[in-house]
A = this chain, B = another copy of it.
Amino acid sequence: MAKVKKQPRPKAETPKGFRDYFGAEVTQRSEMLRKIAQVYHLYGFDALETSAVETVEALGKFLPDVDRPNEGVFAWQEADDADKGDWLALRYDMTAPLARVFAQHRNDLPVPYRRYAMGPVWRNEKPGPGRFRQFYQCDADTVGSGSMASDAEICALLADTLEAVGIARGDYLIRVNNRKVLNGVLEATGVEEDGQRDAVLRTIDKFDKVGEAGVRELLGKGRLDDSGAFIDGVGLTEAQAAPVLAFLTSKGADASETLANLRSAVGESASGAEGVDELEEIAAILNAQGYGPDRIVIDPSVVRGLGYYTGPVYEAELTFDILDEKGRKRQFGSVAGGGRYDDLVKRFTGQSVPATGVSIGVDRLLAALHAKGRVSKDAAGPVIVTVMDRDRMADYQAMVSELRGAGIRAEVYLGNPKNFGNQLKYADRRGSPVAVIEGGEEKERGVVQIKDLVLGAKIAENATLEEWKERPSQYEISRSDLVAKVREILADQAGEQA
């Protein structure tokens, strides 16, 4: 007899680099995003939701004449007889779709256009621990205003947003720098050759890691790194390197001192002077609004993103300590960043349109809220009405109806009710605060048993027999008192957790 070849079963797995989010993971994030949206809305920003899918042409980074234009993005070609279908891709950020939207709808949109967007983006990158290929972004941008007031506004918005979601004043700092100042510094070095300029930029990017002394070495002859390898330097003279080091270390005791240091670092450069003027204007506006240096500060040591942006750059850092995976204290670090990029839609329209905006790292901010205990640990589990008699399902359903009517999360056990232990195990897995029990005997007497599962678990862990007798975790009450008693127990539990 011929063997029937068995079709192998499909694997029940997410694709590599993707994951599922359960229960509180979902609701905590959406609650945080809702609070952020409220602040964005208060500032006059309008919601925008673009589709996940864009043409590769509109996204702009990838060219259809490449064989597989999916480096970095998830892309595919539309089916088409002549194999000339459009290449489509999943958006990799919120900014590229914003550029497309503004170019497409520019005659209908108010200008300046303040918009916020929140949702997943996708990156076709090698996944790693904690690195996923789908993650949330939450952006606010103002398109069509070159005014420094819009940059100042974004900084204030960011501060208000962090406080609205639960980061206390003093636990965060928004640091502002300016790409034009850096341009002025580059002019002041006298370095003109593009390759050498790029090398200086790359070195500045390492300031966070290697500090002032490290940057000095790397701008000059080179440096032995921690592993003992020698890193070639850019080869600047001391005099050439001086403006760069002055720039990176120009933070003074207050904004006016910092600005004076920056003016000296950029020397005669017109672009540099413009950048310092811009920072001065931002500082003045924020000051008038009451955002002092305890919240927003001019800080030229912020170098992340300086290569990408064209004007002011901002970064939100959380300044409290957490323990890293090795138990060492370290600052929580950056949760949002942004800046001005003045050529947003030029690719589409040929016209320069100024824009500035910020992107919040949703997962990092949520992790910070967890670290500060500002997120409820778990969504409350439902009250479980157990099933003692499967023919009286209607009775049990009536109970949950009453509880829900009173705003209490509740459900009937819907598995096989034969084994009562399984029902309590299920309640445990759900994190249920209360179980309701009504057997035939109780039904006859018009009573129900109410089990306080939180107290029960505590007693099981800690209590002496005396305590247990004094504070029983199970109560027999009249059926008509069901809602009142459950409400009372839930209130007690909430009080004890607070």
Q: Which of A45-95 contact B (CB under 8 A)?
A: 46-55, 57-58, 60, 68, 70, 74-76, 78-79, 86, 88, 90
Separation of A58 and B70 alpha carbons in the complex (Å): 22
Contacting B at CB under 8 A, from A399-418, are 401, 404, 407-412, 414-415
A11 & B58 in contact (Cβ 8 Å cutoff): yes
A58 touches B105 (CB 8 A): no
Q: A52 touching B52 by the CB < 8 A rule?
A: yes
Contact A70 B74 (CB under 8 A): no
A70 partner residues in chain B, CB cutoff 8 A = 76, 79
User: Is A153 in contact with chain B by the CB < 8 A criterion?
Assistant: yes
A interface majority secondary structure:
mixed
- Known A13-B55, A393-B285; judge A411-B114 contact (CB<8 A): yes
Query: How close is A63's CB to chain B, nearest CB, in angstroms?
Result: 10
Q: Which of A401-441 contact B (CB under 8 A)?
A: 401, 404, 407-412, 414-415, 426, 429-430
Q: Does A379 contact B (CB under 8 A)?
A: yes
Q: Which residue of B lies closest to A383 (CB)?
A: B44
User: For residue A13, which residues in chain B have a CB less than 8 angstroms away from its CB?
Assistant: 55, 58, 100, 104
The answer to the question of A288 belonging to the interface, with a C-beta cut-off of 8 Å to chain B, is: yes
Q: This chain: how many copies in the complex?
A: 2
How many whole Å from A144's CB to the nearest CB in chain B?
A: 7
A18 adjacent to B285 (CB under 8 Å): no
Whether A110 pairs with B429 at a CB distance below 8 angstroms is yes
For the complex, give the distance between the alpha carbons of A30 and B149 in Å: 31
Q: Which residue of B lies closest to A346 (CB)?
A: B9
* Cβ-based interface call for A196 (8 A): no
CA distance A11 to B64 in the complex (A): 13
Say if the beta carbon of A21 comes within 8 Å of chain B: yes
Which residues of chain B are within 8 angstroms of A74 by Cβ–Cβ distance? 53, 76, 88
Q: Which of A293-301, A323-331, A347-355, A467-475 contacts B (4 or more CB under 8 A)?
A: A347-355
Q: Roughly how many angstroms separate A160 CA and B76 CA in the complex, as a whole number?
A: 42
Q: Are A288 and B142 in contact (CB under 8 A)?
A: no
Kindly list chain B residues whose C-beta atoms are within 8 Å of the C-beta of A53. Answer: 15, 18, 74, 90, 122, 133-134
Cα distance, A391 to B360, chains bound together (Å): 31
Known: A11-B55, A11-B348. 20 other contacts (CB 8 A): A12-B348, A12-B349, A14-B54, A15-B86, A16-B86, A19-B51, A21-B47, A21-B49, A21-B50, A43-B382, A44-B411, A51-B134, A79-B124, A112-B414, A147-B393, A149-B397, A153-B397, A160-B404, A288-B397, A290-B398
CB distance A142 to B111 under 8 Å? no
Q: In the complex, A287→B142 CA distance in Å?
A: 55
Q: Is A20 touching B105 in the complex (CB atoms < 8 A)?
A: yes
Given contacts A44-B382, A68-B79, contact A20 B50 (CB under 8 A): yes
Some 19 contacts from A to B, beta carbons below 8 A apart, are A10-B55, A10-B58, A12-B101, A14-B50, A14-B100, A18-B51, A18-B53, A20-B101, A42-B404, A44-B409, A52-B120, A79-B124, A111-B415, A111-B426, A112-B415, A149-B414, A153-B412, A288-B397, A289-B401
Asked whether any CB of chain B lies closer than 8 Å to the CB of A370, the reply is no
Lowest 5 CB-CB distances: which A-B pairs, in order? Answer: A44-B411, A288-B394, A12-B103, A76-B76, A44-B382
Q: Does A137 contact B (CB under 8 A)?
A: no
Q: A482 near B: Cβ within 8 Å?
A: no
The answer to whether B88 and A15 have CB atoms under 8 Å apart is yes
A49 and B20 form a contact (CB under 8 A): yes
The answer to whether A9 and B379 touch across the interface, beta carbons within 8 angstroms, is no
Cβ A52 vs Cβ B150 within 8 A: no
Question: Is A26 engaged at the interface, CB distance under 8 Å to the other chain?
Answer: yes
Contact of A415 among B22, B144, B156 (CB under 8 A): B144
Nearest CB in chain B: distance from A127 CB, A: 12
Q: How far is the CA of A160 from the CA of B400 in the complex (A)?
A: 13
Residues of B within 8 A of A393 (CB): 147-149, 281, 285
Residue of B nearest to A76 (CB): B76
| Chain B residues positioned under 8 Å from A101 (CB to CB) | 12, 20
Tell me if A481 is interfacial: C-beta within 8 Å of chain B: no
Q: Chain B contacts of A408 at CB under 8 A?
A: 42
A19 to B48, CA, bound (A): 11
Residues of B contacting A133 in the complex (Cβ-Cβ under 8 angstroms): 53
Question: In the complex, what distance in Å separates the CA atom of A362 from the CA atom of B288?
Answer: 45
Given the complex of chains A and B, what is the CA–CA distance between A42 and B148 in angstroms?
Answer: 47
Query: In residues 29-45 of chain A, which contact B (Cβ within 8 Å)?
Result: 30, 34, 37, 41-44
Asked whether A395 lies within 8 Å of B288 as measured between CB atoms, the reply is yes
A236 touches B (CB below 8 Å): no
